Amino acid sequence: MDLHLLSGTAVFSAFAGMTMYSELSSEWNWGQAFMFGFAILAGMELMSASVHVLFGGFSAIPIRAAHLDAFDFKDMYFIFLNKICTVPFMYHYNSICLDSAVLKMEPKDLTFANSVGGFIALFLVYDFIYALYHRFLHVRGVYSLVHKHHHRQHSPTRGNPDGVNVHPLEFLLGEYNFLLAVYLVKPHAYAAMAFIVIGGVMASLNHTRTDFCIPYVYDVKAHDVHHRIPQSNYGQFISVWDRCMGSFREYHDTVDKRK
Global pTM value: 0.93
What are the tens digits of pLDDT across the range 53-112? 999 899 999 999 999 999 999 999 999 999 999 999 999 999 999 998 999 999 999 999
What DSSP line would sit under the chain, residue for residue? --HHHHHHHHHHHHHHHHHHHHTTT-S--HHHHHHHHHHHHHHHHHHHHHHHHHTTTSPBPPP-S----S--HHHHHHHHHHHHHHHHHHHHHHHHHT-TTTS--SGGG--TIIIIIHHHHHHHHHHHHHHHHHHHHTSTTTTTTTGGGGGG-SS--SSHHHHT-S-HHHHHHHHHHHHHHHHHH---HHHHHHHHHHHHHHHHHTTS-B--EETTTEEHHHHHHHHHSSSS---SS-SHHHHHHT------SSPPPP-
The domain ranges of the chain are: 112-252
- Which bin fits 26, alpha (ψ -120 to 50), beta or left (φ > 0)? beta
pLDDT 10s digit of each residue in the chain, 259 long? 688 899 999 999 999 999 998 888 888 888 999 999 999 999 999 999 999 999 989 999 999 999 999 999 999 999 999 999 999 999 999 999 999 899 999 999 999 999 999 999 999 999 999 999 999 999 999 999 999 999 999 999 999 999 999 999 999 999 999 999 999 999 999 999 999 999 999 999 999 999 999 998 999 999 999 999 999 999 999 999 999 999 999 998 435 444 4
DSSP string across 41-98 = HHHHHHHHHHHHHHTTTSPBPPP-S----S--HHHHHHHHHHHHHHHHHHHHHHHHHT
Angle at 148 between CA 141 and CA 127, to 5 degrees: 90
